Homo-oligomer: A and B are copies of this chain.
Amino acid sequence: MMFEVKVYVSLKEAVLDPQGSAVKGSLHHLGFEGVEDVRIGKVMSLRIESNKEEIEDKVKSMCDKLLANPVIEDYRFEIEEVVSQ
């Protein structure tokens, strides 16, 4: 079975986000004064061939081993079966 998986990785609340701060500064310079906070994360779209029983454990394992850094990042994911190819 084919699955479409979205993994969202974001920095933990307590971790500074210099890239977000830079974007916030640039938005202020462009005149968007109302911007009070910017945080930047990643979203990964994966197509994975797997059986239904294993897909969730597989994605969790991918996140823990490679896609996210659990020391400074949180992640969540959505799994959707691709019905017709």
Chain A residues within CB distance 8 Å of chain B: 2, 8, 10, 20, 23, 26-27, 30, 32, 34-50, 58, 61-62, 65-67
Contacts and interface: CB of A to CB of B under 8 A. Distances in A.
Given A41-B42, A45-B39, A67-B23, A62 B10 contact: no
Given A30-B66, A58-B32, A42 B45 contact: no
Given A35-B46, A36-B48, 9 more contacts: A2-B36, A10-B45, A23-B44, A27-B66, A30-B62, A32-B61, A35-B48, A38-B45, A42-B43
A33 to B, nearest CB: 8
A38 B46 contact: yes
A10 B41 CA distance: 12
A83 to B, nearest CB: 16
